[in-house]
Amino acid sequence: MVYVDEIDMDQEEIAEMVLDENAIAQVARPGTSLKLPGTSQGGGPSPAVRPVTQSGRPITGFVRPSTQSGRPGTMEQAINTPLTARPITSASGRYIRLGTASMITNPDGPFINLSRLNLAKYAQKPKLAKALFEYIFHHENDIKNALHLAALATEHAQFKDWWWKVQIGKCYYRLGLYREAEKQFKSALKQQDMVDTILYLAKVHLRLDQPVTALNLFKQGLDRFPGEVTLICGIARIHEEMNNISSAAEYYKDVLKQDNTHVEAIACIGSNHFYSDQPEIALRFYRRLLQMGVYNCQLFNNLGLCCFYAQQYDMTLSSFERALFLAENEEETADVWYNLGHVAVGIGDLNLAYQCFKLTLVNNNDYAEAYNNLAVLEMRKGHIEQARALLQTASSLAPHMYEPHFNFAVLSEKVGDLQRSYTAAQKSEEAFPGHVDTQQLIKQLKQHFAML
């Protein structure tokens, strides 16, 4: 069960992107859009050092609704994706909640029959109206009736109750009416300055792809609520999503100055140190999480990797064993086996690495990185056709990764298939423009073509 806070940023799913009718600038200025994360001014980490998600952002240290990686890039990919656990739209699956036993008065009917309620009557009783709204909005997920009740109640309160304006804004947000939601939240903020309202308003700006406006809003909020952790954390998240990792790390450190048990900040700083080639410092942050009582597969997985790269080999395998024991699903098990494969490559045991990557694919058949690494091992054994098939699978599963395209280009060039090699090299350059080896290969292939 995943609990998502209402003020957390949603994951914008593929159907919402395709069907979105809000007019947003197609070519945004550099550093002002979340749609083009590679355009940040902060000099984000290279994909060669830190893996990126399908949208082009570096993988974060903490899974949030808005940072779920590997989401489909096109509607066709979304439909063809075999993993159907997550809905194509965020509005469909996330807000469905089953009535608990205490909420059901009899086996045949619901706790409250909304169609029979006279909402105008309840709107005149403020205390009861608020409880009823919460029930309709959160439990029944009936946004239309909730909005109707909120509109009647705010009218009864002569538009002076900020709480109802926030609720109307929440309803508009769920219905996709972002500009109307923005007006309601701004009106509520004029009447009553509240941290939650600032967070809701920032959420609207982010959905409208206005990260700079959201940043300014958070900073204004910090002037009025100095040291408010959720606001500092919001700024850090935006910087991270815009590829400005160094600024994000600074803000996460500010979060820790106010709340030294903030799991998200500790995890994000830890992952930043790990990808900055400081595994021993990252290890301290992950140990801190362990001391705080976080005890799950992901943490031991990260501890195992940090121990290996910090050359503390005595703890490496025991951490991975604990991670395997704590894995709750096959995706988590696949991640652990994949990392064990890297450890095996690091110690030179390629047979063990081959088995680990195979076990990764047994647990998660869509693991593009494992297909790529298996292909490299097959190339070393001289199995050209198998390597080619594995690389094609990897590049179709994860077109945003440059490695499968580059490896396929090198393999095709070795066997003399220059046209395929050139096509794959171009895809690799598109995924990672700064990759020197790809540029050299393209230059070499152009010389070959010029000689023909």
- DSSP for 312-344, written as a single string: -HHHHHHHHHHHHHH--SHHHHHHHHHHHHHHH
- Enter the pTM of the model: 0.83
Whole-number Å distance between alpha carbons of 397 and 17: 20
Q: What is the mean pLDDT of residues 326-340?
A: 94
Cα torsion angle, 338, 340, 341, 345, sign: positive
Dihedral pair phi/psi, residue 58, rounded to 5°? -65, 145
Q: Is the pLDDT of residue 301 over 70?
A: yes
Q: Is the pLDDT of residue 345 over 50?
A: yes
Dihedral pair phi/psi, residue 274, rounded to 5°? -60, -45
Residue type (1 letter), 36: L
Q: Which CA distances in Å does 163 have to 9, 79, 160, 234, 446? A: 21, 40, 9, 22, 65
Q: Please provide the average confidence, as pLDDT, over all residues in the chain.
A: 84
- Considering only CA atoms, which of 213, 246, 245, 242 is closest in space to residue 36? 242
pLDDT of residue 448: 87
pLDDT of residue 140: 87
pLDDT of residue 451: 84
Q: What is the mean pLDDT of residues 179-185?
A: 96
Q: What is the mean pLDDT of residues 74-91?
A: 46
Whole-number Å distance between alpha carbons of 368 and 322: 25
Identify the band that residue 117 occupies on the pLDDT scale cut at 50, 70 and 90.
confident
Residue type (1 letter), 224: R
The answer to whether 94 touches 4, Cβ cutoff 8 Å, is: yes
pLDDT of residue 7: 74
Count CB-CB contacts under 10 A for residue 448: 12
Q: Which residues pair with 106 in a beta bridge?
A: 109
Choose from 17-21, 70-74, 96-100, 197-201 the range with maximum mean pLDDT: 197-201
Write the pLDDT tens digit of every residue in 393-440.
Answer: 999 998 889 999 999 999 999 988 999 999 999 999 998 988 999 999
pLDDT of residue 16: 61
pLDDT of residue 102: 46
Q: Is the pLDDT of residue 77 over 60?
A: no
Residues 6+ apart with CB under 8 A from 283: 303, 306, 307, 310, 312
Which SS3 state, helix, strand or coil, does residue 227 take? Answer: coil
Whole-number Å distance between alpha carbons of 107 and 198: 42
Write the pLDDT tens digit of every residue in 229-249.
Answer: 999 999 999 999 888 899 999
Whole-number Å distance between alpha carbons of 257 and 117: 50
pLDDT of residue 271: 94
pLDDT of residue 98: 45
Whole-number Å distance between alpha carbons of 75 and 78: 5
Among 104-118, 178-192, 207-221, name the one with the lowest average pLDDT.
104-118
Dihedral pair phi/psi, residue 188, rounded to 5°? -65, -40
pLDDT of residue 72: 47
Q: What is the mean pLDDT of residues 366-387?
A: 94
Identify the band that residue 36 occupies on the pLDDT scale cut at 50, 70 and 90.
low
Cα torsion angle, 277, 280, 281, 283, sign: positive
Q: Is the pLDDT of residue 104 over 60?
A: no
Count CB-CB contacts under 10 A for residue 435: 20
pLDDT of residue 41: 44
pLDDT of residue 64: 65
Q: Which CA distances in Å does 8 have to 209, 225, 247, 325? A: 16, 19, 21, 31
- Considering only CA atoms, which of 374, 403, 400 is closest in space to residue 387? 374
Percent of the chain with pLDDT over 90: 65
Residue position matching structure tokens 């958070």: 218
Count CB-CB contacts under 10 A for residue 314: 7
Between the CA atoms of 268, 269, 274 and 275, what dihedral angle is there, to the nearest 10 degrees?
70
Percent of the chain with pLDDT over 70: 80
Write the pLDDT tens digit of every residue in 259-268.
Answer: 999 999 999 9
Identify the band that residue 90 occupies on the pLDDT scale cut at 50, 70 and 90.
very low
DSSP assignment, residue 10?
Answer: P
Q: Which residues pair with 58 in a beta bridge?
A: 52
